[in-house]
Structure 1
Amino acid sequence: MISKYFNRSVQSPVFPNILAGLISGLVCVTYSLSFAALIFSGSLSTHLSAGIYSALISATIVGIAVALKSSFTCAIAGPDSNTSAILALMASAIASQLSNAPSLLPTVWTMLVISSIVSGIFLIGLNYLQLGQFVRFIPYPVIGGFLAGAGWLIIRGGFVVTTGIALEFENFSALFHLSHLLHWLSAAGFALLLKLVLSRYNHYLVVPAFLLAGFVLTYLVLGSMGISLEQARAEDWLFSASSINQQESFTGLPSVLQIDWRVLWKEIPSLLAMMCVLALSTLLNATGLELISQQDIDINRELKTCGVANLAAGIGGGMVGFLSFNRSVLNRSAGATGRLSGIVASLFCAAFLFLGTEVIAFVPKPLLGGLLFYIGLNSLIEWLYNARKRLPTIEYTLIILILVIIAGSGFLQGVGAGLVIACLIFAVNYSRTPLIHSEMFGNNRPSNFERSFQQQRILRQQGQQIYILCLRGYIFFGTSNTFLNHVRDVLARAKTPIRYLVFDFHLINGLDSSAVSSFVKLRRFAQQQDLHLVFTHLPPELERQFIQNDCLKVEDDPICRRFPDLDRGIEWCEEQILKAIQLRRRRFLPLTLQIPELLMLSKEETRQFMSYLEPLQIPENHILFTPGAAADTLYFLENGQMSLLSQSTSGEPKRVRTLSSGTVLGEVEFYQDSVRLVSAIADKGSSLYCLSKQNLQAMQKNHPQLAAAFHQFIAHLLAERLFSSTHSNVEQQ
């Protein structure tokens, strides 16, 4: 498989890729040494060779795996700052508990190996479950606060690498002692100069040139001052050769038996945090490379590649590594066009691995410390200075707060507090989003049950008894109380007493227990005020919650009613209003008595109009017309009930409108000279009058004043239906 990818990669120009790979490899080696020195600092500095081996193993194995399988063909991978900062905290915590005990090195080494293996399994699991996108739900200010905190921790590590003294308040006087001051000031000067040059000349050769120049300059200064290598090591300008050259064994039964599992167990919270940071950093770096390269990058593929690479590196004794954004961009800028460059960079790291760690004894401490200062400074500038210009004040303040907590109390405390505060900010901001999508009264939003014109007139007059609320979003403690107070306020200010509260839930995603409690309070209030609550589009899960909390009864609930859709709920409210005024008990009016009022005709004109109509009696379930039939007849429903049905996407019939006595059906297609779009079926035995196109043409010829009155009536009818349809569309958006 490796040969397949290698053969494919050499199709691109070989020399530019080899040159870019060598440049990137030099940077990777230097970064690996810096991160090893960061993790194995302080009391662990005597075991630095173990850290170098672990870092270079990771740079080699993770680098080759990512170079071969990443979506980005110029990818460079290995240990990086975000995870190294957490690994350094974990190593420091272990060292503080074990001091110089024989179990110190085996325990720290095991921590590095387990972190890499478990993180690899975690990333593979994210890819398998296709959960890569969910890592992006971590709030952006928390990410910024973490990265700023990581920058601060890396700068602290830089002080330990250069001086052997931690950057703490009680050590301030020691840090300003001349011997220590010269060490960290030279490292800081290197970092500031590198930052200044890169801000003006962002060339791929700047970093390698600075590293080489720093190395050469250090030895020129030492030589000009007559300082020997032994004296430079004694004065902490170079790493101690006695501690670097020792070959330490990390395998075998004695080392395994020396591992302090009790101390490792305490680092599980930090390990879990690092796993999340690893996944997030991989996704952010992949997304950044996608923008830079303008090519599609498969996020889940990157997770799988990084996961497999870390699993292999952990088995080989390496620390956590992942796709590097900065080094991949540098590789591409150096002329890389294919995977060969990443392979060369990894093999360059492998060469240092097999040559041994003795080379670190000749690397100036200020050089590695300065590189750590530069990485940390970069992160602080990005999130403390640049972020101030593009983030809202509250989010920027949260970043500062997380950084302060990380610096004062620790990494986990800072990130944990940031997550809690970010959630509270989100809750407050989301509570400002209106829960009510739209609100209206029944006279402005009638149901699709078309009634006689007399009943319609009554409902227009009495429709303000129905108050309709279309809700949206997620109902939680931040919105439920405001919503409840709004309903009470509307009820108190209503000029016409409201008797029916209709709540539509079709845009609701869910609700929490406090929201359910608000609806329970609303039910008690409704019972006291003789109100009816109508719930429509109530999802099964919400319905179950309402029933469990006694907001709804399973059967025969006199207060709360539930219907499958808003239209049915409004229809029920209209029925109650009509029943209350005894209109349902009246015998239907014959069409001959309805026409004079509808068309404003005299008795003689009514008789003439009726002469153009033909009576029709149909039984229950009779299909009057079907889709595709010719629309050459218009119908007056004198008595009975008809339903207009369309076919849903699932194949089930869906009610479009129900018509009762004293209504008209089929008029739209009749006037459009089109075919029927829906079916009409009799819900019960009905009597109708039919007006054919032929008879309408005769009416226009023989009694034009009747035809004009009829056209005006139809225009008014269509305007009413258009108004109702517009409100229905608005509430569904």
Structure 2
Amino acid sequence: PNIGNSDEKFLPVLTYDQLNLIDWTAVLGQSSTIMVMALMSIIILLLDTSGVEIIIDKDLDPNRELKAAGLANIVNGFGSGILCIQAAGGTAFTHKLGGTRFVMVLAYGAMVAGVIFVGPSPIAYVPTLMLGGLLMYVGIGFLMSWVWNARKKLPLKDFAVVCGILLVVAVYGLLEGVAVGVILAILLFVHSYSQLSVIKTSMTGSEHVSNIDRNQKDTKYLDQHGDEMHIFVLQGFLFFGTASRLLEDIRELLDNPERSAIRYLILDFHRVDAMDTSAAISFAKLLQVCTKSGIKLILTGCSPEIIDRLKNLPQEPTSPKPEFFDGLDEGVAWSGDNILLDFAGNTENNNPTNLLYQLLGNKKASSVISSRFEKLSIPAGESLFRQGDPGDALYLILEGSISIVLDLPDGQILHLRTMRTGAILGEMALYTGAVRSASALVNEDCQLFRLDQNSYQILNKKNPIEAGYLHTFIVRLMSERLGRANREIMALSR
């Protein structure tokens, strides 16, 4: 049937009888193609919307544009029309002619409606030269703005993508050009992103110590052998490109003859957003490299999804598996404990005089000061002191371990440090008299020696020389802690 007075069937409208003639099975067989066209149309619409924003120098609402396109296609479908979306070319054409008011929209719509209901015959009265000239004007303007002028602004790879899209559009069509453009953009993104390093921080065990306080000899030994442990803090998204780059960086580190022999390689994942299956191949290769080099691979801060992928790495059944820990400090502490197994000086001694002699370096001072200590036994699960309690004593751990935690305003508990045999805690309270800034919770049955404020004052009055050794040790202890903190800050700032 025809609409209007034209003899041409410009707008064929399907009748109910004609709908019965449609092979709906064939239409259903093309459902995948229809979905692809719909998806490509959405992509084209979003790209056109961005282009229109640049042309008219105004922000547009993508949701509004999508709703308008959807409504137009629903109405168009009832009229047997083809797929339609907003046209950036038409908008650019109207804008270049100075049509910035709503009246131009009405005029444009009236012309389209006239063609639909009257037919295309009136178009024959418009000079072909004028239409061709207008199209050439707009087309050449686009080529000059987005191709010729862009050659100086875009990187060579991006400019090559633009030229490739233009060539495909000219030869095959708009949809094909958009599809090729999306594919090229994805490939370019993958290549560019794979060149970025996912290593946020690289440091040795000497630069990042765990949150465990040990006795002085163990701490000194770990400082001297910290290069046997190397830590990589990872970030971003791990896929085959970035994982391969990570493997190359690790191999370069291991092949460096100037580096000390690495025994423990720690990869921290707490800043990693996600990891796909393709990255697992690179980690399987990394595990092989570590096994051949006698290096223990330690993975910390992994999400459950990443743990599932890394636990199922393809490897020989007899090959050593990586160790998993919830946090970086736990992995560093475990590595430090294993390094200390080679150290004969880490034997425990619950004699306070011997422990103080290791700390102070003077037998007489150690004997005098130890006589001022009070011995305590505290079972696991109890608290040595709570945050906000008066700071009235110093403690020396003879056996067991204690966690220093911070009670946050929201009720959460933040773990700060773990103190082990030979460590001293609460020392600042003897100098400042301030309340406890954190709580001390006993992890396992502890044997401690306590030096309270009163005994400390008596020590200063009656044995000032011996007390001086204690003051010197406290100053040295604080300086060493500050030095380790500075080294870690320097490592994190690289």
Q: TM-score range by the shorter chain?
A: 0.7 to 0.9
State the one-letter code of the partner of 1:509.
D
State the one-letter code of the partner of 1:522.
L
- The Cα shift of 1:624 comes to 0.8
Q: Is the 8 A contact 1:470 1:731 kept in 2?
A: no
- The Cα shift of 1:562 comes to 0.7
The superposition leaves residues 322-348 of structure 1 with CA deviations (integer Å, 9 ceiling, x where unpaired) of: 386548968998566xxxx68855775
> What is the CA–CA distance in structure 2 between the aligned matches of 1:412 and 1:305, rounded to whole Å?
20
State the one-letter code of the partner of 2:324.
R
> Could you say which residue in structure 1 is the equivalent of 2:218?
455
Residues 468-487 of structure 1: pairs in structure 2 closer than 5 A: 468-487=231-250
- The Cα shift of 1:283 comes to 5.2
- Return the match for 2:67 from 304, 310, 321: 304
Which structure's CA Rg is the greater one?
1
- Return the match for 1:604 from 360, 364, 372: 364
Q: Is the 8 A contact 1:627 1:676 kept in 2?
A: yes
- The Cα shift of 1:440 comes to 1.9
> Could you say which residue in structure 2 is the equivalent of 1:356?
118
**Further displaced range: 605-614 or 497-506:** 605-614
- Return the match for 1:721 from 461, 464, 481: 481
> Could you say which residue in structure 2 is the equivalent of 1:577?
339
> What is the CA–CA distance in structure 1 between the aligned matches of 2:282 and 2:456, rounded to whole Å?
58
Q: Is the 8 A contact 1:466 1:501 kept in 2?
A: yes
Secondary structure in 2 aligned to 1:577?
Answer: helix
Tell whether 2:437 aligns with 1:677: yes
Secondary structure in 1 aligned to 2:359?
Answer: helix
Tell whether 2:288 aligns with 1:527: no
State the one-letter code of the partner of 2:166.
L
Q: Is the 8 A contact 1:306 1:322 kept in 2?
A: yes
> What is the CA–CA distance in structure 2 between the aligned matches of 1:418 and 1:720, rounded to whole Å?
58
- The Cα shift of 1:303 comes to 2.5
> Could you say which residue in structure 1 is the equivalent of 2:48?
281
> What is the CA–CA distance in structure 2 between the aligned matches of 1:349 and 1:675, rounded to whole Å?
83
The superposition leaves residues 565-603 of structure 1 with CA deviations (integer Å, 9 ceiling, x where unpaired) of: 11111111111122233555x3415222232342343x3
Aligned pairs, how many?
484
Segments of 5+ residues of structure 1 without an aligned counterpart are: 1-46, 54-240
The superposition leaves residues 106-139 of structure 1 with CA deviations (integer Å, 9 ceiling, x where unpaired) of: xxxxxxxxxxxxxxxxxxxxxxxxxxxxxxxxxx
Segments of 5+ residues of structure 2 without an aligned counterpart are: none
Tell whether 2:384 aligns with 1:617: no
> Could you say which residue in structure 2 is the equivalent of 1:21?
none
CA 1:272 to 1:283, structure 2 compared with 1: closer, same or farther past 3 Å?
Answer: same
Tell whether 2:202 aligns with 1:439: yes
Tell whether 2:187 aligns with 1:424: yes
Q: Is the 8 A contact 1:519 1:551 kept in 2?
A: no
CA 1:611 to 1:248, structure 2 compared with 1: closer, same or farther past 3 Å?
Answer: closer
- The Cα shift of 1:258 comes to 7.7
TM-score normalised by length of structure 1: 0.57
Secondary structure in 2 aligned to 1:457?
Answer: helix
> Could you say which residue in structure 1 is the equivalent of 2:146?
383
Residues 402-417 of structure 1: pairs in structure 2 closer than 5 A: 402-417=165-180
CA 1:243 to 1:689, structure 2 compared with 1: closer, same or farther past 3 Å?
Answer: same
Q: Is the 8 A contact 1:286 1:302 kept in 2?
A: no
> What is the CA–CA distance in structure 2 between the aligned matches of 1:287 and 1:669, rounded to whole Å?
64
The superposition leaves residues 625-661 of structure 1 with CA deviations (integer Å, 9 ceiling, x where unpaired) of: 1122222322222332111123479855443211111
Residues 140-179 of structure 1: pairs in structure 2 closer than 5 A: none
> Could you say which residue in structure 2 is the equivalent of 1:516?
280
Secondary structure in 1 aligned to 2:446?
Answer: strand
Q: Is the 8 A contact 2:284 2:315 kept in 1?
A: yes
Q: Is the 8 A contact 1:643 1:656 kept in 2?
A: yes
> What is the CA–CA distance in structure 2 between the aligned matches of 1:475 and 1:370, rounded to whole Å?
52
Tell whether 2:352 aligns with 1:591: yes
State the one-letter code of the partner of 1:638.
L
Residues 545-694 of structure 1: pairs in structure 2 closer than 5 A: 545-550=309-314, 558-583=320-345, 586-601=347-362, 603-647=363-407, 651=411, 653-668=413-428, 671=431, 673-694=433-454
> What is the CA–CA distance in structure 2 between the aligned matches of 1:719 and 1:552, rounded to whole Å?
48
> What is the CA–CA distance in structure 2 between the aligned matches of 1:552 and 1:467, rounded to whole Å?
25
> What is the CA–CA distance in structure 2 between the aligned matches of 1:386 and 1:708, rounded to whole Å?
77
> What is the CA–CA distance in structure 2 between the aligned matches of 1:380 and 1:506, rounded to whole Å?
47
Q: Output the aligned Cα RMSD.
A: 4.0
The superposition leaves residues 439-486 of structure 1 with CA deviations (integer Å, 9 ceiling, x where unpaired) of: 222222221111111111221222222122222223333233343343
Tell whether 2:265 aligns with 1:501: yes
Secondary structure in 1 aligned to 2:225?
Answer: helix
CA 1:406 to 1:637, structure 2 compared with 1: closer, same or farther past 3 Å?
Answer: same
Task: Give the fraction of aligned pairs with identical amino acids, expressed as a percent.
Answer: 30
- The Cα shift of 1:254 comes to 6.4
Tell whether 2:472 aligns with 1:712: yes
